[in-house]
Structure 1
Amino acid sequence: MTRADTAVVDIDGTLVDTNYQHALAWFRAFRRFDVTLPVWRLHRAIGMGGDQLVPAVAGDRFEDEHGDEARAAWKDEFEPLLPEIQPFGGVRELLTAFRDAGLKVVLASSGAPEHVDAYLDLFDGRELADAWTTSEDVDRTKPDPDLISVALERVDGNVGIVIGDSVWDFRAAGRAGQAGYAIRTGGFSEGELRESGARDVFDSLPELDQALDRLLS
């Protein structure tokens, strides 16, 4: 395999601990429409963008009738939780290790621009990454491959390693023809992550950092 020249790193759930806040915000958003969905089911869909998540969990009819309103409601519910969000341990060290290994670093998010800005502030992301993405950069989010393709284009990358936490990250990576490596911080099992296409699975960012030389060899 041609050596990777770019690390495409998911933010939500991979670099910052957000997945359970996202699930709770979606639960509250759907309740505004008298729709009660189990939080565990919502958690399983976290990692998709809102364009994909709403029909996946509530159906196409709900999407047609309330999709945009539901996404607006989710944003209203999620933003008060932003002050609770914290980065995972080892974020700065891992991003620095990617750059020291000669990789360009793109932080790939389909989150709202203002949310991505808040996350970047938590770990000095603007200084550690060559570029990043937001929801404004793609029409369709994961598991479609568009976000990964845009991330590579942003830095003129050819071959990427995709780092993520959800099955949707690796389905997208596979469709984009890129290798994926998983962190279990999103709450998915090792088996699920491997089945979705992850080549290896790590329990934490520092564990991935320690294995980086092997992954890039």
Structure 2
Amino acid sequence: MTRPGVIVDVDGTLLDTNYLHTVAWARALRANGYDDVDMATIHAAIGIASDGLVEYVTGGPDDAVGSTHASEYEAFQDDVRAFPRAGDLLRACAEKGLAVVIATSGRASDLEWMLPAIGVDEDVIATATTSGDVEEAKPAPDLMEVAMTQGDLDPARTVALGDTVWDVEAAAKAGIPCVAVLTGGVGEAALREAGAVEVWTSAADLLAHLGDSRIGRLAD
């Protein structure tokens, strides 16, 4: 593993989707008989892969909930928007010589609409790691570790970028620092308590200060 890079989460970090997912999960849970799970609890679990999220909020597995969520969320895809300058941030990282590796708890098929929604071409992305590539998704370190391997990244020169405590915890378990943004709806105190080394307001804020950030300094 030889090159510097940034491992980038998608939902809540590049795309404004966390609250859409929250509503989709709420509908899926209620459709399957879980009427007592409030949206605050669901939102706190966003970032965990589907199977783990269901267990987190209900206490046990239920494949039907995940299937229903996929159907409910599909109806929201026309409402998905990238955060301002999200695509520009990825391009700026690539222009600095960093390998940009997407790491999402979503499915590989989701990349077909995610990347156009972010506004980047495939040549900006070195590679992408999804839930189908790992045994356990976030907060386990598998997604980060596989992303480093697939991206040929040097762990000593790799930083993760995410928006939830699950991103931060997964990065820490993989032995890399995590820079966080607030656009997923998680507060700065919670992100720093989880171990985030920096917290920026948004992708645009990080881009404006990229040269001073842990990510930008990887290229020095």
- Shorter-chain TM-score category? over 0.9
* TM-score for both structures, normalised by structure 2: 0.91
Amino acid paired to 1:35? Y
The count of corresponding residues between Structure 1 and Structure 2 is 210
Instruction: Return the alpha-carbon distance in structure 1 between the equivalents of residues 31 and 21 of structure 2.
Output: 16
Partner of 2:169: 171
> Is the counterpart of residue 144 in structure 1 residue 143 in structure 2?
no
Alignment-mate amino acid for residue 65 of structure 2: A
Comparing 23-32 with 128-137, greater Cα deviation is found at: 128-137
Counterpart of 2:124 in structure 1: which amino acid?
Answer: L
CA–CA distance in structure 1, aligned partners of residues 63 and 150 of structure 2: 28
Q: Please point out which of 208, 211, 217 is paired with 1:210.
A: 208
Match of 2:56 in 1: 56
Q: How far off is 1:133 after superposition?
A: 1.8
Report the Cα distance in structure 2 between the residues aligned to 1:206 and 1:88, rounded to whole angstroms: 8
The Cα of 1:207 is off from its aligned counterpart by 1.4
Gaps of 5+ in 2: none
Q: Identify the match of residue 69 of structure 1 among 47, 51, 64.
A: 64
Mapped pair 1:33 → 2:32? yes
| Residues 1:86 and 2:81 aligned together | yes
Change (3 A) 1:73 1:120: same
8 A Cα contact 1:6 1:161, kept in partner: yes
The answer to whether the 8 Å contact 2:105/2:137 transfers is yes
**Greater helix content:** 1
Match of residue 124 from structure 1 = 120
Partner of 2:181: 183
TM-score by length of 1: 0.92
Alignment gaps of 5+ in structure 1: none
Kindly report structure 1 stretches of 4+ aligned residues shifted beyond 6 Å: none
Answer with 49-58 or 107-116: which moved more: 107-116
CA positional deviation for 1:32: 1.4
